[in-house]
Chains A and B, each alone.
Chain A
Amino acid sequence: MPDDNRYFSALGRAALLGAALCGWPLAADAAGAIDKQDFDQVQRGHYLAIAGDCAACHTLPGSGHDFAGGRVIETPFGHLVAPNITPDPLTGIGAWTDDEFVDALTNGTGRHGDRLYPAMPYTYYTKMTRQDALAIRAYLNTVPAVHNAVKSDQLPFPLDMRISMAGWDALFFTPGAFKPDPAKSAQWNRGAYLTEGLGHCGMCHTPKNALGADDAGKTLQGYALQGWFAPDITNDPRRGIGSWSVDQIAAYLKNGQNGVIVGNGLMAETIHLSTSRMTDADVRAIAVYLKDRPGDAAKRQRQAEEQPPASDAAAAKAGAQIYADECSGCHAPDGKGVANLFPSLHGTPFVQQTDATNLIHVVLRGGLGVATKAAPTAPEMPAFAWVLDDDQVASLLTYIRGAWGNAAPSVTPGDVGKQRAALAERSD
């Protein structure tokens, strides 16, 4: 994948100009409008689209068509397909007015007043200012228009009736722009705006209730999705980012690695498309804000009382031998790995999540670390599904989760078997 930023192509501008001459409706400026032809606004919109990671859903990887939609979004309720948000007037958003665009982004309202599904993170984007939303529009106006009709809604009855979302919104959606906390620094507030708003980190990292809404009491404490577990990113010292400095969090977001761990799985994509392209100041602001997320104190108390899983001493012993044979060549006998290359397993939050999904995933399937400009290595981990059976994987992970001062629940062969079967169904 090319490293360079998404471009403002001459083609895109030509397409826009052509369309404008053909007379499709470029919305009349409404109150609070910005000059959408203004270079600075387009640039700002481009940056905001990166921070909001619009491409993650709206660009089908490998399609070569930025923002033309078509990517399947998995939800616990069924599949949605991200729509085309290029300026194409028929299949994209070219014909939308600014108000319609802002309303969709920040209020979850479709063009004709219907409700969007919250796979579109309007529950987060609602914190965005109108100016920012319009800047994103200004940028999206410049990308090449692609004619690509997408049928977004592939949910089963009755969820396919968008009206059902009105009730959901009434329960779980709190519209309203971000309100800075005057007691906190400007940096903290910028971090909060990016994390809770544009960056919509909680979409993956916050546990969901039965209806798929964020569990408000557990913000950023980790959630399983798409074969992975988006880990706890509160300041929890064991499972969250509590053991990392602001510098380390910022380095992870910007460079994809921080001397402890290398970004992989779904986060590798987020780093590639979004955080590595953000400014140093913004990733630091996010880091400062995350360091101030307390996490779950009661859970921490329970963790403090938790001992390494002694009941599985036999499994851990077998696991230690498997570790020596298969893992220690890269992750080192002390579990500390090699900075910027092989992740440390020694006291790292990645290893100590309550939910062992990620560990099982990478042992079975292997992994591919993210490459960034600053850290281009993109280290790989081989797959072990073919050589280790469920018992062996469980023993290995039970060992790792109790070694070197780590403390996390044992992994059972059943856990591994379940995930082996689930991964076999996945095409990604």
Chain B
Amino acid sequence: MPRKLPHKDVAIIGLGWTGSILANELTDAGLDVVAIERGPWRDTATDFAISYAQDELRYRIRHELFLRNSQISVTFRNNAGQTALPVRTWGAFMLGNGVGGAGVHWNAETWRFLPTDFMLKSHLTQRYGASFLPPDMTIQDWGIAWNDIEPYYDAFEYLCGTSGRAGNLDGNIQNGGNPFEGPRSRPYPTPPQKQGYGHTLFAEAAAKLGYKPFPQPSGNLSQAYTNPLGVTLAPCTYCGFCEWFGCANNSKASPQTTVLPVLLRKSNFEGRTECEVTRINLDNTGKRATGVSFVDASGEEYEQPADLVLLCAFSLFNVQLLLLSGIGTAYDPSTGQGQIGRNFTHQTMSSALGFFDKDKYNFNPFVASGAIGMCIDEFNGDNFDHGPLGFVGGGYIGQVQTNGRPIESTAVPPGTPAWGSKWKQAIKDNYLSTINSGGACHASMYAYRDNYLSLDPTYKDRFGRPLVRITIDFHDNEIKMSNFLTDKYAELLQAMGAKQIVKKPRKAPYDVTQYQTSHLNGGAIMGDNPGNSALNRYLQSWDVPNLFVMGASAFPQNAGYNPTGTVGALAFWAAKAIRSQYLKNPGPLVHA
């Protein structure tokens, strides 16, 4: 028999970015909140101290901050004709673990989506006609508009202290910023980061080609900053150990450096780590959550009753818990019916290597940060005419090289032997003079009928629960787009003065062993009616109104940006709706 714990007003599943923000907002509203986190407690001085945080082998190669595959994994296949197999070491994406979640190990690129991204289907249909879209593409509108979400982007950026330059202030285009961004209500809280030589050279080349380069918005801060909660962050030291790593000097925005210091001191907040939620419990109507069940590190089972349940785990696991708890209807790709698992997307990343004359160029690539870089947005979203191109979607293009870490910064020109003295010499010759921007083309991945999440029929976790099964492949639209963007980036490398360029466009099939990004989206998407979405515009479950589901699982499809800015904005947006509407009158906030 599980032990039944005293009732709480709110039970939060997962204490990453969204769990921390929601917990802080709802404890401010006077509610009694418990957050249940599967992984360990983590904090700067105790878990990524400066004397060992910059360890590429430990964190990058051996994945120390990530979920252990023995604790939980996922299964993968490219299409329904294949049998999915479990992922035994992370490859295409990294799944965070512990307090802070992926907010601990992210690069801190803090983007906003384009206004048209939120009404993608209607916008593209209006501009190009419905027949322009591939028939199996299942993109749709989000149910919110730019003016709805802008204040909450602002809230997240001011929480983080994001460093950047505004490109559109209240409709006025600003020099040096991104002219394509939606109108913002005020400038970034801190000025842009400094840029390295390679990043600067890219911006010069882009301007020469007629583009409008701008600094990438960064959660690695350009200067010290105290956020509206009173928490102070430090300036970044450009050590080049952001993605895969915790920040050792409080200069990367994370739950630990922005929210948790305030949250943890509240008497109406309780956090439980090393406790894995196994189920969201429903009453006998199936329309109301009564709380959650979880298991602690000793294997003890508990039931936590709560009035309101917030599902704040990583996107894949949000979907898994909904399916395991019998909330909503599982998606069936053969009929297109059912909402849980539908419209699963990732990202379409591509790049090119640029080899430069070592006697003329020294980029010092190790001086960098996770979100350093200069970008252009001419080829993102629908910022350009897709009519003649035969595809939709796009991405930002940038020199966003984040590091020169020793183990992986070994790019050498084609034809170099793979080992031995010539290989070593080639690394020496090229280390300082190569532009190796892994995320140079950071492009969208739109949704398709046959890309989805479901429960695996064979493989189970340590509790005997089915693993979540990923079925995903790249479609022609994304491959065409990737080729187009990669060519554009190669032109930029050429204009920078590269003597040799090696293009690396994204190729099908989707390869689960090759890292792209950790931006997995969809599966429990938001929308304007229960016939096309799992959640309403406030991220409230259509099926169980006292359940809200945060995170990128709510994205109907992915845009050509990193998702965290939008994930944070949606968390503040949902928090506002809960505080100002739901708590006054608990029930559906949108009537279907």
Q: Are B230 and A375 in contact (CB under 8 A)?
A: yes
B267 contact from A4, A338, A377, A382, Cβ within 8 A = A4
A175 to chain B: which residues have CB within 8 Å?
Answer: none
The stretch from A36-44, A82-90, A221-229, A339-347 touching chain B is A339-347
Q: Are A341 and B234 in contact (CB under 8 A)?
A: yes
B265 contact from A3, A339, A380, A382, Cβ within 8 A = A3
The stretch from B46-54, B300-308, B523-531 touching chain A is B46-54
How far apart are A6's CB and chain B's nearest CB, in angstroms?
Answer: 13
Given A326-B51, A338-B234, A341-B234, A380-B44 contact (CB < 8 Å) = yes
B262 contact from A2, A376, A380, Cβ within 8 A = A376
A339 to chain B: which residues have CB within 8 Å?
Answer: 224, 232
A310 within 8 A of B: no
How far apart are B27's CB and chain A's nearest CB, in angstroms?
Answer: 12
How far apart are A372's CB and chain B's nearest CB, in angstroms?
Answer: 9
Q: Are A382 and B224 in contact (CB under 8 A)?
A: no
B31 to chain A: which residues have CB within 8 Å?
Answer: none
Within 8 A of A (CB), among B218-239: 224, 226, 229-235, 237, 239
A384 contact from B51, B239, B250, B266, Cβ within 8 A = B51
Q: Are B234 and A380 in contact (CB under 8 A)?
A: no
How far apart are A283's CB and chain B's nearest CB, in angstroms?
Answer: 18
A377 contact from B43, B46, B232, B249, Cβ within 8 A = B232
B267 to chain A: which residues have CB within 8 Å?
Answer: 2-4
Q: Are A330 and B50 in contact (CB under 8 A)?
A: yes
B45 to chain A: which residues have CB within 8 Å?
Answer: 366, 368, 380-383
How far apart are A32's CB and chain B's nearest CB, in angstroms?
Answer: 38
B248 within 8 A of A: yes
B509 to chain A: which residues have CB within 8 Å?
Answer: none
A378 to B231, CA, bound (A): 9
Q: How many residues of B contact A (CB 8 A)?
A: 27
Q: Are B233 and A341 in contact (CB under 8 A)?
A: yes
Q: Are A329 and B265 in contact (CB under 8 A)?
A: no
B52 to chain A: which residues have CB within 8 Å?
Answer: 387
Place the interface of chain A in its size category: 20 to 34
A340 to B44, CA, bound (A): 16
Q: Are A338 and B224 in contact (CB under 8 A)?
A: yes
A4 to B266, CA, bound (A): 9
Within 8 A of A (CB), among B15-65: 43-46, 49-52
B261 within 8 A of A: yes
Given A4-B267, A380-B43, A329-B224 contact (CB < 8 Å) = no
Q: Are B44 and A376 in contact (CB under 8 A)?
A: no
Interface string of A1-22 (1 = CB under 8 A from B): 1111000000000000000000
Dominant SS among interface residues on chain B? loop
A3 to B44, CA, bound (A): 22
How far apart are A396's CB and chain B's nearest CB, in angstroms?
Answer: 12
Within 8 A of B (CB), among A84-135: none
A375 to B229, CA, bound (A): 9
A417 within 8 A of B: no
Q: Are B49 and A382 in contact (CB under 8 A)?
A: yes
Q: Are A341 and B261 in contact (CB under 8 A)?
A: no
A374 within 8 A of B: yes
Within 8 A of A (CB), among B328-378: none
B46 contact from A340, A371, A374, A380, Cβ within 8 A = A380
For B50, give the chain A residue with the smallest CB separation. Answer: A329
Within 8 A of B (CB), among A332-390: 338-342, 366, 368, 371, 373-384, 387
Given A341-B233, A376-B231, A377-B231, A329-B239 contact (CB < 8 Å) = yes
Q: Are B250 and A379 in contact (CB under 8 A)?
A: yes
Q: Are A329 and B230 in contact (CB under 8 A)?
A: no
Within 8 A of B (CB), among A398-425: none
Interface string of B514-525 (1 = CB under 8 A from A): 000000000000
Within 8 A of A (CB), among B403-429: none
A382 contact from B46, B229, B261, Cβ within 8 A = B46
Q: Are A374 and B265 in contact (CB under 8 A)?
A: no
A326 contact from B50, B224, B235, Cβ within 8 A = B50
How far apart are A255's CB and chain B's nearest CB, in angstroms?
Answer: 10
A330 to chain B: which residues have CB within 8 Å?
Answer: 50, 234, 248-250
A368 to B250, CA, bound (A): 14
How far apart are A195's CB and chain B's nearest CB, in angstroms?
Answer: 28
Q: Are A382 and B51 in contact (CB under 8 A)?
A: yes
Q: Are B232 and A338 in contact (CB under 8 A)?
A: yes
B43 to chain A: which residues have CB within 8 Å?
Answer: 380
A383 to B43, CA, bound (A): 13
A80 to B581, CA, bound (A): 56
A371 to B231, CA, bound (A): 10
A3 to chain B: which residues have CB within 8 Å?
Answer: 265-267
How far apart are B120's CB and chain A's nearest CB, in angstroms?
Answer: 40
B44 to chain A: which residues have CB within 8 Å?
Answer: 380, 382
A and B contact pairs by CB, cutoff 8 A, 19 listed: A2-B266, A2-B267, A3-B267, A329-B239, A330-B248, A330-B249, A341-B250, A342-B234, A342-B250, A373-B230, A377-B231, A377-B232, A377-B261, A379-B250, A380-B44, A380-B45, A382-B44, A382-B50, A383-B49
Given contacts A329-B249, A380-B45, A382-B49, 7 further A-B contacts (CB under 8 A): A1-B265, A326-B50, A329-B237, A330-B250, A340-B226, A376-B262, A380-B44
**What are the 4 tightest A-B residue pairs by CB atom distance, in nearest-first order?**
A382-B49, A380-B45, A2-B267, A382-B45
**Hey, which bits of chain A sit against chain B, CB under 8 A?**
1-4, 326, 329-330, 338-342, 366, 368, 371, 373-384, 387
